[in-house]
Chains A and B, each alone.
Chain A
Amino acid sequence: MKYVDEYRKRDLILSIAEKLKTISKKEIVLMEVCGGHTMAIHRFGLNSLLPENIHLISGPGCPVCVSSQHFIDLALAFSRIPGVIITTYGDLIRVPGSSTSLEKERAAGSDIRIIYSVLEAVEIARQNPGKKIIFPGIGFETTAPATGAAIIKARLENVSNFFVLSAHKVMPPVMKALVEDGVKINGFIAPGHVTAITGISAYNDLASLYSLGVVATGFEPVDIMQAVLMLVSQIESGTPKVEVQYRRVINNDGNRIAQKILREVFDYRDDLWRGLGMIPGSGLRITDEFSSFDAEKQFSIEVPRSTEPKGCICGEILRGLKTPVECSLFANKCIPSDPVGACMVSGEGTCATYYKYRS
């Protein structure tokens, strides 16, 4: 596959690994904040290629994993309304709410369908005028513009039975919050596709205020290795800054059209992240102009606020402060097929990975 295979070549990966060994002296901690990076590092075994003084930790980068229990409970409540079809990205249906999940409800008979593109939801709405189609919107700045575009299209085409329950979140406030919280890292491997939308100015504060290196990175093993090399070079020379590794996709200014759609359809709000709590300005809500597509405004559903399950220390794990084995729920009450917290929900979350390697 073009633009994929070239960045998986063995000799390139190994030559970067070798270069790293020669220039990397300091103990360095780098955090990636993207499920796609966690997956790629695991899938291509990149950790084992890095010298021992470079540590990669996973931050709260999977929008699915950090969806709060409350959001899932809301989606579940919607699915029980007669005449509602829930159309969702696949990753969401196993995420646990306070007592059940979309997957379990589907097995029990609720009309819950997996889609690949949000436009399928608009189409399902068009074909089922007597039903109400609700789309739980998850994802960061990479995915939110698609939701925004779908809402605009639905309005243009008078599809009035399509609704979005927004749990879209944005990255930079969380990266900042982690650092302000005292997470000890030297740099960020920043999410390449988020940056393709936002542009790099979103990270300037991190570099200038906190002296952290930030490299916007692609998702193939060569990309990640090159980004580590760039970060290590910055840190070894004491010049932390914002750089782009993923030059073939990222323009420094980002995607203007997508940014315009985000501004038109969404406003920022404080949002609840599973395991991290409330982070100011980290969520996207639908603006009043498009409120007729906002599921929260169009349906009066009350769902009791739930507390995070007792004993769950995902927050500390996501910040790199604790490891899964220090969690009392790990591998007994919280397992991959029946996860409690964010870190176990994703197949490549910190806890899920530890679980796989347990002895």
Chain B
Amino acid sequence: MHDLIESVFIKHFSNNILDNQNDAAIIPSASADIAFTTDSFVIDPLFFPGGNIGKLAVCGTVNDLAVSGAEPLYLSVSFIIEEGFRIDELEKIAESIASEAQKAGVSIVTGDTKVVNRGKCDKLFINTSGIGSIRKENLHISKAINIIPGDIIIINGMIGDHGMAVMNARESFNFNMPLESDCTSLNHLISAILNRSPVKFMRDPTRGGVAAVLNELSGKTGIGIEIDEPALPVSKSVKAICEILGLDPLHVANEGKVLIVASEDCAKDILEVMKNYEYGKDCAIIGRVVSDHPGRVVLRNNTGGGRILDTLSGDQLPRIC
């Protein structure tokens, strides 16, 4: 076990806090509030176009901090490894974790490793916890307060890439498509936005997709939301694979997207900042907060008709009918 930690994890994650290998990491004191999050990753398959479970584990936790308005600083990473898991695959995953952490500018300061008997876990599970610092003026962002009719909803790019790339990698459907997960750390983008413009609310539309986040928001606050279907950025590939399998991109998971609610006069600034980033170039205003249908999300189609956009209770399934 010690060899494993030294030869794989310390080798890739080394920094002056981690190298102490204490039970708890002592973080130099901050003068701001602390944001703290945790997430576990059990994705199948472990490797998919555009990433792997390791990259996902860093991005997921970094993004949870960033969309709360915090600056992500430190991560813990814990592994539960099934006996017999290949070392070369573990190395690749560790490399991805290190690389993504560096990109995001976060340090991995503590962690844990357990090996369990075959059959006791599905190859590899990872948990990451993250700490960030959050300035007083950003504390409102995760609380969804002061949102009023007229506020607009912006997304930084195309929806559905991650979920569809993973589905195609996992199942035996054999579609050949140039589709990759959008998995990426969003903290630099979000930090640039917050430096330029106030925002009222942010969340990353992961499991359950954009539909889930919008419904959570309208459910929690009682606001009505209207989404402009033709304005939704969807790649040709995602549009096509969803038509083939009978799926709706609005319910598909994303791992490199942030939904922002802001007042209408901030839209221009936010979009301008987003366009400076590779993963913001397809940004768009996708809808607005309305005074109609409180607590409901309505999707307006190209003929002006509307239908209610619900959350799904489970994963979307490909259909034949």
Direct contact of A and B (CB under 8 A): yes
Partner of B239, one of A1, A35, A139: A1
Closest to B170 in A: A114
Q: Within 8 Å CB of B303, what residues of A?
A: 10, 13-14, 44-45, 49, 221
Q: Can you list 22 contacts pairing A with B, beta carbon distance less than 8 Å?
A: A10-B303, A39-B246, A45-B301, A45-B306, A46-B305, A48-B306, A64-B320, A89-B319, A90-B317, A90-B318, A94-B314, A114-B318, A116-B171, A116-B244, A116-B318, A117-B173, A120-B173, A120-B174, A138-B320, A139-B321, A143-B320, A337-B314
Q: For residue A113, which residues in chain B have a CB less than 8 angstroms away from its CB?
A: 171-172
Q: Distance (Å) between the CB of B103 and the closest chain A CB?
A: 34
> Within the complex, which residue of A36, A45, A90 is in contact with B305, where a contact is CB–CB below 8 Å?
A45
Q: Which residues from A are CB-within-8-Å of B310?
A: 356
User: Which chain B residues in 293-308 approach chain A with CB under 8 Å?
Assistant: 301-303, 305-308
A113-137: which have CB < 8 Å to B?
113-117, 120, 123-124
CA distance A91 to B306 in the complex (A): 26
Residues in B lying within 8 Å of A, measured CB to CB: 171-174, 239-240, 243-246, 301-303, 305-308, 310, 312-314, 317-321
Tell whether, in the assembled complex, residue B319 and residue A91 are in contact, meaning their CB atoms are under 8 Å apart.
Answer: yes
Cα of A357 to Cα of B310 in the assembled complex, Å:
10
Cross-chain pair count, CB within 8 angstroms: 83
Known contacts A45-B301, A139-B320; is A115 also within 8 Å of B173 by CB? yes
Q: Would you give the shortest CB distance from A117 to chain B, in whole angstroms?
A: 8
A252-B10 Cα distance, complex, nearest whole Å: 70
Q: B320 is contacted by which of A43, A89, A123 (Cβ under 8 Å)?
A: A89
State how many angstroms separate the Cβ of B25 from the closest Cβ of chain A.
Answer: 36
Q: Is the CB of B317 within 8 A of A91?
A: yes
The answer to whether the Cβ of A63 comes within 8 Å of any Cβ in the partner chain is yes
Cβ of A62 under 8 Å from chain B: yes
Could you tell me the distance in whole angstroms from the C-beta of B297 to the nearest C-beta in chain A? 11
Name the distance in Å between B318's Cβ and chain A's nearest Cβ.
4
- Tell me what chain B mostly uses at the interface: helix, strand, loop, or mixed: loop
**What separation, in Å, do the CA atoms of A45 and B312 have in the docked complex?**
19
Q: A89-B320, A116-B318 are in contact. Are A336 and B313 (CB under 8 A)?
A: yes
Say yes or no: A94 contacts B317, CB within 8 Å: yes
Q: How far is the CA of A46 from the CA of B304 in the complex (A)?
A: 11
Give Cα distance in the complex from A93 to B302, angstroms: 33
Q: Residues of B contacting A43 with CB < 8 Å?
A: 301, 307
Give bound CA distance, A4 to B243, whole Å: 10
CB neighbours (8 Å) of A138 from chain B are: 320
The answer for the CA separation of A1 and B318 in the assembled complex, in Å, is 20
Interface status of A42 (Cβ within 8 A of chain B)? yes
Q: Are the CB atoms of B321 and A36 closer together than 8 Å? A: yes
Of the candidates B172, B305, B320, the one having the most CB atoms from chain A within 10 angstroms of its own CB is B320
| Distance between Cα atoms of A63 and B125 in the complex (Å) | 38
Lowest 10 CB-CB distances: which A-B pairs, in order?
Answer: A45-B305, A337-B313, A90-B317, A90-B318, A35-B321, A91-B319, A116-B173, A10-B302, A89-B320, A120-B172
Q: Which residues of B contact A42 (CB under 8 A)?
A: 307
Nearest CB in chain B to that of A91: its residue: B319
Q: State the CA gap A13–B302 with chains docked (Å).
A: 10
Among A8, A39, A45, A138, max chain B CB count under 10 A is at A45
Verify B172–A123 contact, CB threshold 8 A: yes
Residues of A within 8 A of B313 (CB): 336-337
Which residues of the partner chain B approach A114 to less than 8 Å between Cβ atoms?
A: 171, 317-318
Of B174, B240, B245, the most chain A CB neighbours within 10 A belong to: B174
A44 near B317 with CB under 8 A, answer no
Q: Chain B: which residue is nearest A336 at the CB level?
A: B313
The smallest beta-carbon distance between B287 and chain A, in angstroms, is 16
Bound CA span A223–B284, Å:
31
Q: Are B319 and A115 in contact (CB under 8 A)?
A: no
B314 neighbours in A (Cβ, 8 Å): 94, 103, 337
In the bound complex, what is the Cα–Cα distance between A1 and B244 (angstroms)?
Answer: 11
Residue in B246, B306, B307 with the greatest tally of chain A CB atoms within 10 Å = B307
| A314 CB, min distance to chain B CBs, angstroms | 17
- Residue among A114, A123, A124 with max Cβ neighbours from chain B (10 Å): A114
Complexed CA–CA distance, A224 and B157 (Å): 32
Determine the distance from Cα of A113 to Cα of B302 in the docked complex, in whole angstroms: 37
| Chain A 66-101 residues near chain B, CB threshold 8 A | 89-91, 93-94
Complex: A75 Cα to B160 Cα, angstroms: 32
Taking CB atoms and an 8 Å cut-off, the chain A residues in 27-55 that contact chain B are 34-36, 39, 42-46, 48-49
**CB-defined contacts of B305 to chain A, threshold 8 Å:** 44-46, 48-49
- A149: shortest Cβ distance to chain B, in Å? 15
Binary B-proximity of A7-19 (CB < 8 A = 1, otherwise 0): 0101001100000
Asked if residues A90 and B239 are in contact (CB atoms below 8 Å), the reply is no
CA distance A44 to B306 in the complex (A): 8
A120 surroundings in chain B (CB, below 8 A): 172-174
CA distance A8 to B318 in the complex (A): 22
Report how far A45 CA is from B305 CA in the complex, Å. Answer: 6
Q: How far is the CA of A158 from the CA of B310 in the complex (A)?
A: 47
Contacts of B302 in A (CB 8 A): 8, 10
Q: Is there an interface contact between A63 and B318, defined as CB atoms closer than 8 Å? A: no
How far is it, in angstroms, between the C-alpha of A1 and the C-alpha of B235 when the chains are bound? 12
**Contacts A221-B303, A356-B308 known; 7 new A-B pairs at CB < 8 A:** A1-B239, A4-B243, A10-B302, A44-B301, A89-B318, A120-B173, A337-B314
- A17: nearest chain-B partner, CB-CB: B303
CB-CB nearest in chain B for A8 = B302
Residues of A within 8 A of B173 (CB): 115-117, 120
